[in-house]
Amino acid sequence: MTIFVFMENNSCIRQQADIKQINRCKDRVAELNGSFDYLSNGLELAGNNVRLKILFLLYEEKQLCVCDLSDVLGMTISAVSQHLRKLKDRKLIETERQAQTIFYSLTNEYKNLLEPFFIILDENKILETI
Amino acid sequence: MTIFVFMENNSCIRQQADIKQINRCKDRVAELNGSFDYLSNGLELAGNNVRLKILFLLYEEKQLCVCDLSDVLGMTISAVSQHLRKLKDRKLIETERQAQTIFYSLTNEYKNLLEPFFIILDENKILETI
DNA sequence: ATTGTATTTTAGCATTTGCTTAAATAAACA
DNA sequence: TGTTTATTTAAGCAAATGCTAAAATACAAT
């Protein structure tokens, strides 16, 4: 049985396009599609300035409540709560109730994933890294 | 000279709040403020599913043009071009013209910063890492 | 049961995002 | 010089985001 693989250049207008390269890229994107979704799902939330601070503070302090965070960040409790909800919905953080206070902490999953950044941040070495 | 540091709990309503902890957090946020800005600036863009793919493809292939990317991603050239513009405006990528084709590539700065993620993605080990 | 404390949720609104389609540039080449 | 090729830009629009202010919920303590 012969399988014909037509590597025609049907959408890229560029005439000198490297069709092998393009097909390699297509395969790669298809192969890693789930990982892209997972990663962008997390980075989308971590990319917000306020939420990045929240995530980092939880990394450093292990656990904090909305009220602590609203104080630290100088924001409304309601605003912070809404950020926490997004982070919780997507499993970046989890909750534990202690009496009347609800403490938030990083899930292990995302602690591991975001750690490379937190280490850089922790040492304030952003400018050295780049 | 004596400096009085009033550690009153003036905004967090929670009565048992750990004021030392809150002040430590406030100092940390103030100290790392520039780094938070820098990092969220990049992650905000990398957090988009399409742009994450673009960044990763540039990481793997060294350089690609809009047309290649539009083909690989199955998107309009215009749509991809607008993503590339954002990435270029914020210095995540840079351009080099070769004849009629404009090639995009990662800046060293962000190649280093995003590398931890790309390595995980590259090996498709997201599920092992977390 | 009632009050107080901690937090979430809802509705509303201005702003931003990401796309589409169409028009505009920019440089190579006949 | 005009045409082709590669790409960007602009206008427009639906959907998403992030906040405020007000109302609702959850649990503790009396």
- CA separation, residue B116 to residues A10, B10, B35, B112, B113 (Å): 35, 41, 18, 8, 7
| Strand D positions within 7 A of protein Cβ atoms | 5-10, 17-23, 26-29
d(CA A92, CA A84): 9
Provide the sign of the torsion angle of the four alpha carbons A6, B62, B88, B90, taken in this order: positive
Q: Please choose, from the candidates A23, A17, A25, the residue with its C-alpha nearest in 3D space to the C-alpha of residue A5.
A: A23
Q: Cβ of B39 and A48 within 8 Å?
A: no
- Low-confidence stretches of chain A (pLDDT < 50) are 1-11
Residue A9 pLDDT: 36
Q: Output the CA angle B41-B44-B50, nearest 5 degrees.
A: 135
Q: Cβ of B116 and A116 within 8 Å?
A: yes
Residue A121 pLDDT: 85
- CA–C1' gap, B11 and C2, in angstroms: 27
Tell me the count of A-B CB pairs closer than 8 A.
168
Residue A18 pLDDT: 84
Mean pLDDT in consecutive groups of 10 residues from the start of chain B, 130 residues: 38 69 95 94 97 98 96 96 97 94 96 92 67
Number of Cβ within a 10 Å radius of residue B31:
11
Reported ipTM? 0.88
Binding-face residues of B in 67-106 toward A, CB within 8 A: 67-68, 70-74, 77, 101
d(CA A44, CA B23): 28
Domains, chain B, with CATH or none: 36-122 (1.10.10.10)
Gyration radius (Cα) of chain A, Å: 21
